[in-house]
Amino acid sequence: MVTSVALLVVTACTPSKSVEGQRRMAADSDPRYTNKAMLLLFEALVLDTLGCLPADDRAAIEQMPLQRMFGTTASEWRTVVAETLHLSPTFEVAVLDLWYRNSDEAQQKGVSYEPRSFAREFVDHYLEPGSRVDVWTDDALASAQERIRRRRPTSGCR
């Protein structure tokens, strides 16, 4: 199974000369991402926000013509994804706050919570109809920002 985000993105974004070639490439990757390059890029953005996107994956994504592919005014890959998906300015707060809270809960239960699993789950919940993942009420945003400020990275991933 392919585990590299960059390879999956390249597979999803690279035009093939034949339908058979496209089928072969899709078979080499997770079928979740077949013809869904933005899904991969969204998960990569979540991983990058956590500080967990491998450097080689980031470098491969940075080499892709994403601005042209998605017709954005933005050119840097993170801003292309944000513009294409109409992400709010508080998106990173939503990612980090939920990551820290879920990681703490998992640790209390004595289980490991992997960044890739979190990214996948975050994206799935974010894209659900009626999602309120990045919707803030009352003092919730300020509370989330304070939790993030107090939290210090303990490993390579924030």
Q: Provide the greatest CA pair distance for the chain.
A: 53
- Rounded Cα–Cα distance for residues 43 and 22 (Å): 22
- pTM value? 0.80
Asked if 68 and 77 touch (Cβ cutoff 8 Å), the reply is no
- Rounded Cα–Cα distance for residues 111 and 89 (Å): 32
Q: Which residues contact 109 (CB under 8 A, 6 or more apart)?
A: none
Query: Which stretches of the chain drop beneath a pLDDT of 50?
Result: 1-8, 10-12, 14-27
pLDDT score at 12 = 47
Closest C-alpha among 90, 47, 20, 158 to residue 9: 47
pLDDT score at 54 = 94
- Rounded Cα–Cα distance for residues 74 and 68 (Å): 10
pLDDT score at 137 = 86
